[in-house]
Structure 1
């Protein structure tokens, strides 16, 4: 065989090997399951998600933990190291009470190991931690949360020199971080650890439920009456964000199962509603969830909501959670969209504040209006299946009453403020004087 033929065969073999390697690489990619959005994300038990990029671009900082990481998504980030060190201190404090009674660190780790696979499936992406690292993180983060809740509930005492308590800025930041969608661990892990701890203590008196301790902790920033929290002692959730979200949704506030025969009409902004004679009032009842909105005889009744750093972060993360989780209700999304519909400008916020519907602890009225508009931005919303669909249609029917709208618009234009009333009254006097002058001129012409 000559040199040219041998060279051609070698080239052909090289090309063939390259093609085979390329095909093998492509088949390997086909066989590999998705990692950034795993197949588990579509299942009902998956409940901890990365926030969608569209929402991150609008309110990015509201979804990222500022001082403490819980769970794997932000585990080990340098700016969260400070509280990470205190987690170990809290774990040591817990072990100092449970180890003498036979519950050691080894027992905590061994009890969580059978739950590892189930816990991993709660996350929407593949967790790149070894089995030991993952279990250790679940125990450390879970015990830290439980110890903090119990100390806040005075089940055990805070240490006198505990900086997490003595530095007043720390707890408010942690409260917000504990309710960020990306910063969660499964609630069944917390419940299991809590049951271990309380069983080891063998207390004679009644033990508060984990949900009650957790809700008491967050209620320091939500300011709900203690009796309203006490009713929720059996409440549970997928994680802490879901627990607190569920606590603000009344049991009788259900969403329609099927769509209505007629399309649902969306609601107008505050200024247009007022021109149509529709008022917005605070019902001023004993505690009622801010989600309970009613429409009666031309009046929309809305319980007061406080817009501050905590509530803004909570609402944003609830909306992100409802956008990602296919099985949970969309109550917070509906409320956020409703606010976005009725608020267009700072004047709408100003009116709602005057009616004691919004308590503005966030900034000026324009900042609140911008927040509300961003809250409902790029959010998927089905008005046909929302719990406010009937209210939307009732308001639309009232708004469409032509004679009523014309009379209300007249009153709004000419009698809404003292100055508009004075201007209208002056214009009326001027019109009457002009008519009288014309009448006298006509009479003087015929009867000089």
Structure 2
């Protein structure tokens, strides 16, 4: 036993300390098994977790072509870039939540250079189309462009943003012309994100630049932008039953497309529930799932988690989705699968009734729809004043009833007289 204890003690002594700076995580295997395609890059690996996979090797040549073009515009030698990354290797490795055993130092440094420059060059060509070469397989072949960018927002497929900025600035110290004049990693990256992600994830586009310097990677940047407007007073949610849109509609509540640019900024005032508009695309569920997991694993306040719970309850049936489409809150996209998408995402969410971000809204909604007058008023409008002809018919019937009453009263008066 002493010998065994010494062996185990030796292993304990060789344990490397884990960094508190990690921000790029592996998805737990149980989650991966449920939705493997939502966490696995389809075309390009970025960073160490999926590096070297056989199905992604075809992209390595395209990465190297981008690296070649990037180096041709700067007087900085490749050895200088590699040395620059080597000096930051420990910091880079500490960004990952697990130790990268499969890549030795030289392999790791090379991987970072190739992947980082690929992203920089991709954003540069998107920003300055005169940099696009005739043999570019992404910008000359739009179908590849539309697929590859899906991989940029996967939790396991990230590089720290700081290395992109450092390498771009290093290249810009000695270029052959003014190609990079008035251009920064912030400007080219945010230019791409505004065009690519805002249709799927409505956020204030100005927040991208504001939060860029503090963001660890692309997913972190998006989460930081979503958190910006969330400062609601919290109350304990006593009734966990969040009514669906149809049920709320029958209770007299109206719906309006929210004026806020932030997807999470749901409001309820004077009987009107404002929900920021959302169009669901093929990649929406994939993006939302990775955002959810990052928010949870990184220890952020669960703003996005609570949004998914709220929307799942509001859109619990196709009828709920139809009402939101009629009110121009949900755009025409993959709307037929909307309830199923939010239900699937909701399965991974955690409901904390003491810290639910929409607890005040839910409580007010529950109180409002219980008031009899609101329900009677809504029933009257929906059943008797739902069209102009129905309104005319009801008014005519009321007038006829009044005339009949008047005639009856007059007859009684004549008889008495």
- TM-score (normalised: structure 2): 0.82
Q: Is the 8 A contact 1:186 1:238 kept in 2?
A: yes
Which of these residues, 117, 125, 128, is aligned with residue 154 of structure 1?
A: 128
Q: Which moved more, 1:177-186 or 1:345-354?
A: 345-354
Q: Distance in 2 between matches of 1:345 and 1:416?
A: 26
How do 1:46-445 and structure 2 match up within 5 A?
A: 46-98=22-74, 101=75, 103-128=76-101, 129-154=103-128, 157-201=131-175, 203=178, 207-222=182-197, 229=205, 232-236=208-212, 237-249=215-227, 251-254=228-231, 260=235, 263=238, 267-283=242-258, 285=259, 288-326=261-299, 328-362=300-334, 365=336, 367-401=337-371, 403-404=372-373, 406-407=375-376, 410-411=379-380, 414=383
Structure 1 pair 317/94, CA: closer, same or farther in 2 (3 Å)? same
1:72-108 deviations in whole A, cap 9, x for unaligned? Answer: 111111111121211111001111111xx2x111111
Residue aligned with 2:35, SS = helix
Q: Is the 8 A contact 2:244 2:314 kept in 1?
A: yes
1:31-81 deviations in whole A, cap 9, x for unaligned? Answer: 5649xxx844xx3x2111112344334433111111000011111111111
Greater radius of gyration (CA): 1
The count of corresponding residues between Structure 1 and Structure 2 is: 387
Q: Distance in 2 between matches of 1:381 and 1:194?
A: 42
Residue aligned with 1:72, SS = coil
Residue aligned with 1:300, SS = strand
Residue aligned with 1:169, SS = helix
Cα displacement (A) at 1:388: 2.8
Structure 1 pair 300/137, CA: closer, same or farther in 2 (3 Å)? same
Residue aligned with 1:165, SS = coil
Q: Distance in 1 between matches of 2:6 and 2:251?
A: 68
- TM-score (normalised: structure 1): 0.77
Q: Is the 8 A contact 1:150 1:156 kept in 2?
A: no
Q: Which moved more, 1:345-354 or 1:213-222?
A: 213-222
- Aligned-residue CA RMSD in angstroms? 3.2
Unaligned runs of 5+ in 2: 402-417
Q: Is the 8 A contact 2:168 2:185 kept in 1?
A: yes
Structure 1 pair 381/117, CA: closer, same or farther in 2 (3 Å)? farther
Unaligned runs of 5+ in 1: 1-18, 433-448
Structure 1 pair 132/404, CA: closer, same or farther in 2 (3 Å)? farther
Q: Which moved more, 1:316-325 or 1:236-245?
A: 236-245
Q: Distance in 1 between matches of 2:239 and 2:183?
A: 44
Q: Is the 8 A contact 1:304 1:357 kept in 2?
A: yes
Q: Is the 8 A contact 1:264 1:389 kept in 2?
A: no
Q: Distance in 2 between matches of 1:133 and 1:335?
A: 41
Q: Distance in 1 between matches of 2:172 and 2:351?
A: 42
